[in-house]
Structure 1
Amino acid sequence: MDRIAIIGCGGSGKSTTARHLAQILDAPLTHLDALYYDEHWTPLPQDTFARLQEKLVTGERWIIEGNYASTLPTRLTAADNVIFLDLPAATCLWGIAQRRRRYRGGQHQTNGVYDRITWNFIRYILTYRHTMRPRIHTLLQKHAPHARLITLTSRHHNNRFIDHIRRDAQLAT
């Protein structure tokens, strides 16, 4: 597991999963929200954002978490592992509620997430499996047939996966 792309709905746990894996695997981690937005929540121009990702994926080892479907092919083509957090909408909504409670809104310095809950964001979460999941699967088939796809469908499944990676890493040392 040298080049890992982590994707999934908002609130699915991408940042947390990425943080755990980066620590366990001692791999450099990039949160795409932190790359895309500045401290005033102003997005980068699309071409600049795309070029930054093209440079990131040339690295020997990396973990990149975030969606951004327009640039997903860049990450998928270079990844050797893709972790797709395909959790139910209710779980993701609970995840953003927990994030709001924990960070009390605003932009998180560690991962760039701006904790802003809007109706559009809630609608995105509620329709993710119907609208985005088929698009993600099409992109995976087209750009990542070489990569190992790990689909995690619950928090419990995700925690077991991280524990498994942690045990493997401990055995390797």
Structure 2
Amino acid sequence: MHRILVVGSAGAGKTTLAREIACRLDLPLIHLDRHFWQPGWTAPGEARWRETVAGLAARPAWVMDGNYGGTLDLRLPRADLLVFSDPPRLRCLGRVLRRRWAHRATPRDDLPVGCPEQIDLQFLRYVWRFPRDSRPRLLAAVASRAPDLPMVRLRGRADVRRWLESLPDGQP
């Protein structure tokens, strides 16, 4: 496996998990947020974004973290493995709030310059509604775009720990 896609709700631990997988397997790490957002949280146009993602997905090896449902059609067929970080919503909300506090003065390394950590009511609603709204869309995209793609679904810290410990020499 050389192309591993890590998805899940905000606060699900995607970034930390992707970083650990990339380190253990010596694969390049791609944080989609770094490529999507421009300073001041400005989003690129859809055509430019799809072109960027197509170029990233075409690389021979990567661990890519981020949902961006509008580009799953580009990424799922290229992936060798899908890792779905799917902890309970309260844990995700707690992590989002903790992360905001932890990065109140220092920028996160998975975000581009000029995009400080922020939280608003819309974002918190997205996290709360992820299991009801986004999880089914994500699983439907996998079923339609890459039905044979192996998927690991990690629901808690113990799942994550056990799965990471199971990674053999250089291959998940």
Same fold (TM over 0.5): yes
Percent identity between the two aligned chains: 30
**TM-score (structure 2 length as normaliser):** 0.91
Instruction: Note the C-alpha offset of 1:159.
Output: 2.1
Question: 1: CA distance between counterparts of 2:96 and 2:136?
Answer: 23
Partner amino acid, structure 1, of 2:110: N
Number of equivalent positions: 168
Q: How does 1:141-152 map to 2 (within 5 A)?
A: 141-152=143-154
Which structure 2 residue ranges, 5 or more long, are not aligned? Answer: none
2:133 is the alignment partner of 1:131: yes
Q: CA deviation at 1:105?
A: 5.9
Q: Residue 80 and residue 152 in structure 1: after superposition, are their counterparts in 2 closer, same or farther (change >3 A)?
A: same
Q: Which residue of 1 aligns with 2:2?
A: 2
- 1:35 counterpart residue number: 35
TM-score, normalised via structure 1 length: 0.90
Shift of 1:169: 2.2
State the alpha-carbon separation in 2 of the partners of residues 87 and 151 from structure 1. Answer: 9
Report whether the alignment pairs 1:158 with 2:160. yes
Q: Deviations over 1:113-166 (max 9, x none)?
A: 74211111111111110111111111000111231111111122112212222x
Q: State the partner residue of 1:111.
A: 110
Aligned residue in 2 for 1:93: 93
Alignment RMSD (CA, Å): 1.7
Q: Which runs of 4+ in 1 moved over 4 A?
A: none
Question: What code does the residue aligned with 2:151 have?
Answer: L
Of 149-158 and 39-48, more deviation after overlay is shown by 39-48
CA distance in 2, matches of 1:73, 1:163: 30
What is the distance in 1 between the residues matched to 2:123 and 2:160?
Answer: 23
| Cα 1:106–1:73 shift into 2, 3 Å | farther
Tell me the residue number matched to 2:59. Answer: 59
Distance change (3 Å), C-alpha of 1:106 and 1:72: farther
